[in-house]
Amino acid sequence: MHAGGCLVAMWVTNRERHRRFIEQELLPGWGLRHLATWHWLKVTDGGQPVGRLDIEHRRPYESLLLCWPAHLPDPPGAPAAPAAGGDASGGSCFHVLREPLVVVAVPPASHSRKPHLGPLLLPLLPDGARCLEMFARELHSGWTSWGNEGLKFQSKQRFQRRRQ
C-alpha cells in the first residue's frame, strides 16, 4: 500500500458468504478497512431494473466496496496536501467518500462487463493520482490496466466511428 494512502475499489458478488469473507477476512488480511459501498443498479433501455430486487440468487445490482488502509485516519473532506501523500499531522490528500451512491446504467451486452467508474472516482483522488485497474478487461486513458484480459473489450467491433 502507498504510505500516503490509497483507495481500493472492489466489485463484490451479492452472495452473503462471499461478502462476509471479504469484510471479515480479506480486507483485514490486506490491512484495509471498508469506507463506503456504492451500487450499480442495472436497468433496461426503458429505465426499469433488469430484475426483481427481492430475488436472492440474481439481483439487478452489483456492489462496489471502497476501502482504505486500516492504519490511516479517515480521508478528510478536502485535499490537505499535494499528491505526495498527506501532511505532517498524518492527514491525507484524498476527498471524503460519500455513501451511499447508486449508479444507474444499462449493462453492456458482454457478460461480466462493469461500467467504468473512473469519472466518479477521480474527483475523490488527489491531483496526479496514479490509477491501477487489476484484472482489467479493457484499457482506459490515464489508468494502468493489469491482467490477462486487458485487451478483451478493445476489439474494433466494439467501437463506433465518430462523425466529423
107-123 tens-digit pLDDT = 666 666 777 788 888 87
> Quick check: 89 pLDDT over 60?
no
Cα-based angle 28, 34, 39 (whole degrees, multiple of 5): 135
Same domain, 25 and 61: yes
Domain count, the chain: 2
Q: Give me the domain span that covers residue 91.
A: 8-129
> Quick check: 36 pLDDT over 60?
yes
HSE of 147, CA atoms in CB hemisphere, 13 A: 16
Mean predicted confidence (pLDDT) in 160-164: 71
Tell whether 158 is covered by a domain.
yes
Same domain, 16 and 84: yes
Mean predicted confidence (pLDDT) in 83-104: 50
User: Who has greater pLDDT, 146 or 79?
Assistant: 146
- Cell numbers at residue 60, please? 439487478
- Cell numbers at residue 8, please? 481500493
Global pTM value: 0.72
Q: Give the range among 56-65, 86-95, 144-153 with minimum mean pLDDT.
A: 86-95
Same domain, 41 and 78: yes
Same domain, 113 and 134: no
Same domain, 122 and 149: no
